[in-house]
Structures are given as C-alpha cells and as structure tokens.
C-alpha cells in the first residue's frame, strides 16, 4: 500500500465519511484551501491508481468510493509510526503519551483491562 499525501488523506477521510461521492461532493466537504475542481479530480484519480478508491461510471461522470477501509489504513499508518518513531515498541508509544500528558491514569487502566480481556 503506497503512502498518501496529506491532501490525499484528507480526500480519503471525506470518502470514508460519504461512502460514495462525485468530485463535486468531495469539493463541497472541503472547507479550507479549496482546490480547483480539476486538481481535486486529479487527486482522486491518483487515489484510484494507488488502489485506494474505485468508481462507478455514469456516462462521463464517475462516482468514487473507498476500497480500503479506514480501519485498514489506520492499522497500516500506526504500524509504520510505531516502527519508525518508537523502535517498534508499543510500550514506547504509551510511555510517550504518558510523558506528554496525553493519556490519563483512568485511560491507562482501561487499556490494561482491554489487554487482560483479550488474553
């Protein structure tokens, strides 16, 4: 699975939300830095070439839909982040968030309960 640009990720989040969309539908969802219609269309076609979306043709118009789930992409993204930034250690990930005060003791307890439940 190829890496996505920030703009491509933004488009994928919109497609995951809408499930199926024409280029105009995606354009309507973008609030900041609206690209030109043709630029957005090119970005979506790039996502198709990368294997992230497919389309249903209606004459010359295409309705796009994701073929990679958000969950599958999240798993891939997190695995890469854990590998590249945390020495492939999930403990280092949790420690990072604890040191940055991004996770509470109660949340850590919930995580421990989830781990115990799954083992």
| Per-residue pLDDT in tens (0 to 9) along the chain, 119 residues | 778 999 999 999 999 999 999 999 999 999 888 999 999 999 999 999 999 999 999 999 999 999 999 999 999 989 999 999 999 999 999 899 888 888 888 998 998 999 999 87
pLDDT given for residue 26 in this prediction:
98
* Token code pair at residue 17: 């939300």
Q: Look at residues 46, 66, 86 and tell me which one is the last residue of a structural domain.
A: 66
Q: Could you tell me the pTM of the whole model?
A: 0.81
pLDDT given for residue 79 in this prediction:
92
Output the CA torsion sign for 73, 74, 77, 78: negative
pLDDT given for residue 102 in this prediction:
86
Q: Domain check: are 90 and 62 in the same one? A: no
- What are the beta bridge partners of residue 55? 64
Q: Domain check: are 91 and 105 in the same one? A: yes
Q: Domain check: are 19 and 34 in the same one? A: yes
Instruction: Report yes or no on 1 lying in a domain.
Output: no
pLDDT given for residue 119 in this prediction:
79
Is residue 20 within 8 A of residue 33, CB to CB? The reply is: no
* Token code pair at residue 42: 């090119």
What distance in Å separates the CA atoms of residue 71 and residue 28, rounded to the nearest whole number?
24
Q: Domain check: are 24 and 59 in the same one? A: yes
Residue 52 CB coordination number (10 Å): 22
Range of the domain at 21: 6-66
Residues 6+ apart with CB under 8 A from 89: 82
Cα–Cα–Cα angle for 77, 118, 74, rounded to 5 degrees: 10
Q: Domain check: are 79 and 45 in the same one? A: no
Q: In Å, how far are 6, 22, 27, 43 from 56, measured between CA atoms?
A: 25, 10, 18, 17
Q: Domain check: are 28 and 76 in the same one? A: no
Q: Domain check: are 74 and 104 in the same one? A: yes
Residue with tokens 């809408």: 18
């Amino acid at each position: 699975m190829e890496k996505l640009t920030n703009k491509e990720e933004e488009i994928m989040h919109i497609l995951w939300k809408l499930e199926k969309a024409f280029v105009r539908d995606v354009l309507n969802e973008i609030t900041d830095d609206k690209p030109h219609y043709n630029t957005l269309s090119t970005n979506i076609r790039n996502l198709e070439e990368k294997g992230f979306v497919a389309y249903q043709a209606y004459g010359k118009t295409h309705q796009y839909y994701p073929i990679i789930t958000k969950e599958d992409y999240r798993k891939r993204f997190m695995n890469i982040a854990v590998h590249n930034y945390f020495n492939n250690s999930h403990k280092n990930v949790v420690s990072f968030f604890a040191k940055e005060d991004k996770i509470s003791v109660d949340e850590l307890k919930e995580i421990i309960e989830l781990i115990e439940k799954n083992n």
